[in-house]
Amino acid sequence: MLMKAPKPSFDMLAREAGRMVRKMFASHPGLRAERLCGVHNPWGFATDLLDAWHLLELCEAEALVERVVAVIGPDVILWDSQVYRGAEDYRAFLAEGREGRYWPADPLQGAVAVLRLGEPGAPPHVFAVPVDEAAKAKLAGAAGPLYVIRYMAATSRFRREPGFAPNRLGMQEQLLIDYTARPLWLVSGEDKAGNDFVTGFAPSAARWAGPRGRTE
């Protein structure tokens, strides 16, 4: 009887993610920040840069999801993740009040898990959204690239309508990022809001088909 290989630990997954991200930035020094949004999505636009399946496994890691559950409750949906070149970039994003501003979750209830990829072995930080000042202070000493994973409570509805206020703001202020077609993964508990788990699970258009195909 064949024995199943043990699942890699969260720490092993995070260390490999850090290695991949360092290699990516070394190979693509001029990479646009927009290319690094939704990197866990195997049907997204960053699959030529990073191993999306590996990052998805990291996002779904039991040890990490347990931390999220402790913050927002047992019903959890993974909907986005993003790599930031430097911790200072994400600190600026937080300082501008942008985390949560574009979330299509209605009502807004969720958490971000922040992985310090430049500091192997560092425990993840998990904060409720909106992020308060105490949470921001915990990132004050962070250095190097960060991997920010966005989870919403499955008691909220993921609104895909372009006219929904956060989506409209996102289209105005994050011109190359569209959340409305994002695939959703239920990583804990049950969906309590009738969310759409079909949209987004399809191959992206060929990379030569438009400006999104550019790697930098």
DSSP string, 135-169: HHHHTTT--S-EEEEEEEETTSEE---TTSHHHHH
Q: How far is CA 97 from CA 39, 129, 130, in A?
A: 22, 11, 8
- Say if pTM beats, i.e. exceeds, 0.85: yes
Cα distance between residue 146 and residue 33, in whole Å: 12
End-to-end CA distance of the chain: 48
Token digits of residue 61:
């890691």
Q: Are 17 and 58 in contact (CB under 8 A)?
A: yes
Residue 214 has pLDDT above 70, yes or no: no
Residue-level pLDDT at 120: 85
**Nearest Cα to Cα of residue 38 among 185, 136, 205, 167:** 185
Task: Give the other-Cβ count within 10 Å of 6's Cβ.
Answer: 6
- Does 80 fall in a domain? yes
Look at residue 130 and tell me whether its pLDDT is greater than 70: yes
The whole-number pLDDT of residue 146 equals 97
Interval 55-109: pLDDT, tens: 999 999 999 999 999 999 999 999 999 999 999 999 999 999 999 999 999 999 9
User: What is the number of H-type helices and E-type strands within the chain?
Assistant: 6, 7
Full strand arrangement of the beta sheet holding 76-84: 125-129, 110-116, 146-153, 76-84, 185-188
Give domain status of residue 181, yes or no: yes
In a domain, 143, yes or no: yes
Average pLDDT, the chain: 91
| Residues in Cβ contact with 59 at an 8 Å cutoff, skipping those fewer than 6 apart | 40, 78, 81, 149, 185, 187
Residues 46-53 have a mean pLDDT of 95
Report whether pLDDT(208) > 50: no
Q: Is residue 147 part of a domain?
A: yes
| Residue range of the domain that includes 51 | 10-194
User: Would you say residue 211 lies in a domain?
Assistant: no
Q: Within a domain: residue 208?
A: no
Residue 107: per-residue pLDDT:
97
Residue 3 has a pLDDT of: 63
pLDDT confidence tier of residue 202, bands split at 50, 70 and 90? confident
Contact in structure between 49 and 28 (CB atoms under 8 Å): yes
Is residue 198 pLDDT above 50, yes or no? yes
Q: With 90 as the cut, is the pLDDT of residue 215 above it?
A: no
Overall domain count for the chain? 1
What percent of the chain is predicted at pLDDT more than 70? 91
Q: Is residue 214 part of a domain?
A: no
pLDDT at 83: 97
Element of type H or E holding 172: helix 165-173
Mean pLDDT of 155-167: 96
Residue in 110, 145, 94, 120 with CA at minimum distance from that of residue 15:
120
- Candidate from 85-89, 131-135, 192-196, 207-211 with smallest mean pLDDT: 207-211
What is the pLDDT at residue 203?
61
Decide: 166 and 104 in contact? Cβ < 8 Å: yes
Question: Residue 205 falls within a domain, yes or no?
Answer: no
Kind plus residue range of the DSSP H or E element containing 126: strand 125-129
Determine the 3-state secondary structure of 71 from DSSP: helix
